[in-house]
Amino acid sequence: MSAPPVVAFHDRLSGTSNGAGDLHTHDGSTFHTHGHDHHATGAQLGPTEHGHSHEHLENAGKFAERDMPDYTGRDWSERAFTIGIGGPVGSGKTALLLNLCRTFRDEYNIAAVTNDIFTREDQEFLIRNEALPAERIRAIETGGCPHAAIREDISANLGALEGLQATFQTELLFVESGGDNLAANYSRELADYIIYVIDVSGGDKIPRKGGPGISQSDLLIINKTDLAPHVGASLEVMRRDAAEMRDSGPTLFTSILHGEGVQAVKEAILGAWKVSGAARQGQDKGKAAQQ
């Protein structure tokens, strides 16, 4: 069997420049761009020459003021309800996706897209652990800055998701971002429900450091709670700071490796899916097919 598809994202931006250093992208935001030649033969990009645009954030934002998905006119048959999983490297995103695939796959028609910088590491991990059949897991190679592929230019991920939808007529789609910093977050044109994963191994200061993923994700997960006593992290401090950063936004404490909290994450996803109307549309199509 041939290897599952991999989409190369490197040095691609689908937005259009206005010629003054600003890039207008899928969600209508304006981003500052860099004027480097990213296609020079043999060029090595330094830390300030990373080949993408940046959104300049003045603050982390508030949960109540976050971008909300717009389901007006949404055709779920083109792309099913999409769950975006983000967070720093090593926080447990792929472990969460593996467990979600295992808990959803027997009841729902699902597929997934992973993002890595220059490899297919996460896709291969999911296939090796039989999360889903290999053809239901696609990979995006994002290049140096994975947050560009989930916000500034989402076209590679959208293409992969829509391709899976066309092939499998899924009910739910998952997309996992490459590990990135606390400033990364999903475009609402890509993710209907945003989960942001941090973990206690970085210390109990992480929630109060903020960032749009922490303050504005639909669900914040604080993972690896079992490690707290070993790294000197206070779960109560993290709970307090998360509540302060997120106001009314939900936060779950999990130990995904041990299966703790996975069911609660599943219930949160299903709740949002039903509210969106995507679940009802799927049921209506199923009834029509039976008639």
First to last CA, the chain: 36
Residues in the chain: 291
d(Cα 217, Cα 232) in Å, to the nearest integer? 26
User: What pLDDT sits at residue 287?
Assistant: 43
User: What pLDDT sits at residue 122?
Assistant: 96
Taking 70 as the pLDDT cut, the residues of the chain under it are: 1-60, 282-291
Cα-based distances in Å from 53 to 14, 35, 132, 224 = 11, 10, 34, 33
Q: Which domains does the chain have, with CATH numbers?
A: 76-276 (3.40.50.300)
CA dihedral 76, 139, 105, 109 (to 10 degrees): 30
Quick: pLDDT tens for 97-118.
999 999 999 999 999 999 998 8
Quick: pLDDT tens for 137-153.
999 998 877 778 898 88
